[in-house]
Structure 1
């Protein structure tokens, strides 16, 4: 089976999700290549698998955005005429920071109707998608969760050593946010709630680049910073990611909206409990892994809800290692290959490949 993926391996340094999935598909004898418009048009493929099709059209220049939309539209139409099946893994139902929401939504509605199959990471993800999009009546879908990140990053080190290397107070627990600073992630709301909660035993650590964040947000964060808050507003390389995770007692994702989150799986991969809004994949993972690993708060993050969440996690017992076997990439790749086969192209080939490499 020949698969073009957009992206397949090109974004590995930013997000290893795609590379982890497609390397396992290659182990199942699938032929996976990086998607390029020209190559997809010249070369036969069974599947073209998109992940963030809106990303290429959300350009600062309106002219450039329209140009990219037309190029993608022409390519998709040509692929459909050739009999290639189009798959979209719906990481987000809509872009978080769309510059032109109406234009983006109109194009993505068009794109969704030309997809043969959709992959969602949770039932909530699927429900939210079908509330927003009208799709082809012949399209299929599968629910295949996000995989874990164990083995992708350096291992954890001693917590006190990590605190010392980061210049943190060794006597206080660490509440950690790590990731790119963007408005929808609600970091200013987290800082306000933390300050007002007066958590004397904790220090808040916010780590991640704020280069694309609005100037007002960065200014607000600097204003909210106090003696118990540590800001590392820069790109965090993989070599340092383990340092921050090692220092953490609890990881928090204070997002205003969340359907799926690699950051959630990253924290669990380092066996750190997580506080996040009770919605999307967070709620479903909480049911499967338990409140002692994922504490989902309702509505907005407030000083009271933050206090309650930390208290609940402090008083819950959990094993040293978070049980993530169901999120191993070999299992997720096998599910993905099975789904490809359901789309009516090379079905017998996909089934044969899958059966020959069955996951016990």
Structure 2
């Protein structure tokens, strides 16, 4: 289960190794993490994008899975049934052909609830996994092999987009608004902040009508709170982040956060719950960028963090050098090659 030593020479892999990604053809709403990963892969590696027909009936050397629940979920019950049937035959094919599976551990488990059938399919996929990729070194390794390839930064992605100066007192919570992200906790803390110069922006697409209604009600109750409840383009997001004095992420579950790294990539400090993963990032990027709290977020924590940011003055940008994509692309190539070699030797 321990990570193997980095190879001293390239692994023997077939010319033109083909990797099927579990994500579809990139679009404007595709997670930039995936787009940057695909762009960073070395020349000579062939990438295929997922469709169930391609997965079932085409040939490929490695199957790379990111968020496995998306393979078995659909908005409708009928759609879910069809996707799960397709997933069953896909897993059967992977098992019969001994096609290696590489799995990136973005989350330790799906954030929303799952059915018994879904859990059974995902457990089967786990058993078929040849190489696990953890994107932070605090994730518990899994058998048979786990390698660490850190989550890359977003500096290059947003480099061409102007970011305005921070607005004093501006708090920002952004990203897909899902139940585990604790936006209602942030709204409650904001209601207890007496300082009229503190404002709160909520930016992102709500996962449910209930979350949207709660945010809209808070905006009506407090003129310091405003929201953009939809998907926003990258340039607009960069502007929102740039105007924030502090990014606040009151997540109930937080292990790997692209949102946190996005904020740091645009040199904005972040307030987040304490855990080993966040503490490791705080140490990695340098002091004054990641502020951690224990227990529940409240008005006192927010006020103390704003005071700390103002007292620190100008400091060096966050150190994200360990997350450069050129290096991460080579590491992914090596992980694919390791999985393929293990499948052939097994």
User: What range describes the TM-score normalised by the shorter chain of this pair?
Assistant: 0.7 to 0.9
**Distance (whole Å) between structure 1 residues aligned to residue 67 and residue 254 of structure 2:** 16
* 1:200, distance to aligned residue in structure 2 (A): 3.7
Q: Once the two structures are superposed, what CA deviation does each residue of 1:238-287 show, in whole Å capped at 9, x if it has no partner?
A: 22112112211111111111111111111111111111111253222112
Instruction: Determine the structure 2 residue equivalent to 1:220.
Output: 214
* 3-state DSSP of counterpart to 1:124: coil
Instruction: Determine the structure 2 residue equivalent to 1:265.
Output: 261
* 3-state DSSP of counterpart to 1:64: helix
Decide whether aligned partners of structure 1 residues 107 and 11 sit closer, same or farther in structure 2, where only a CA change above 3 A counts: farther
Q: Structure 1 unaligned segments of length 5 or more: list them.
A: 131-136, 161-169, 349-360
Instruction: Determine the structure 1 residue equivalent to 2:85.
Output: 70
CA contact (8 A) 1:190 1:301 kept: yes
* 1:49, distance to aligned residue in structure 2 (A): 0.3
Match of 1:4 among 20, 29, 38: 20
CA contact (8 A) 1:297 1:309 kept: no
**Distance (whole Å) between structure 2 residues aligned to residue 179 and residue 336 of structure 1:** 26
Match of 1:148 among 141, 146, 153: 153
Decide whether aligned partners of structure 1 residues 227 and 330 sit closer, same or farther in structure 2, where only a CA change above 3 A counts: same
CA contact (8 A) 1:86 1:117 kept: yes
Matched, 1:47 2:62: yes
Match of 2:325 among 309, 322, 329: 329
Kindly report which structure 2 residues correspond to 1:120-269, keeping only aligned pairs within 5 A, or say none.
120-126=134-140, 139-153=144-158, 154-159=160-165, 172-210=168-206, 212-215=207-210, 217-225=211-219, 226-269=222-265
CA contact (8 A) 1:8 1:18 kept: no
Instruction: Determine the structure 1 residue equivalent to 2:5.
Output: none
CA contact (8 A) 2:286 2:319 kept: no
* 3-state DSSP of counterpart to 1:152: helix
Instruction: Determine the structure 1 residue equivalent to 2:280.
Output: 284
CA contact (8 A) 2:100 2:339 kept: yes
* 3-state DSSP of counterpart to 1:3: strand
4+ residue segments displaced more than 6 Å: none
* 3-state DSSP of counterpart to 1:175: strand
Matched, 1:300 2:296: yes
* 1:147, distance to aligned residue in structure 2 (A): 0.6
* 3-state DSSP of counterpart to 2:312: coil
**Distance (whole Å) between structure 1 residues aligned to residue 229 and residue 297 of structure 2:** 22
**TM-score, structure 2 length as denominator?**
0.85
Q: Structure 2 unaligned segments of length 5 or more: list them.
A: 1-16
**Distance (whole Å) between structure 2 residues aligned to residue 221 and residue 38 of structure 1:** 40
Instruction: Determine the structure 2 residue equivalent to 1:17.
Output: 33
Instruction: Determine the structure 2 residue equivalent to 1:116.
Output: 130
Match of 1:311 among 307, 313, 336: 307
> Aligned residues, how many?
325
* 1:8, distance to aligned residue in structure 2 (A): 6.0
Greater relative contact order, per chain length (Cα 8 Å cut-off, separation 6+): 2
* 1:86, distance to aligned residue in structure 2 (A): 0.7
**Distance (whole Å) between structure 2 residues aligned to residue 11 and residue 152 of structure 1:** 15
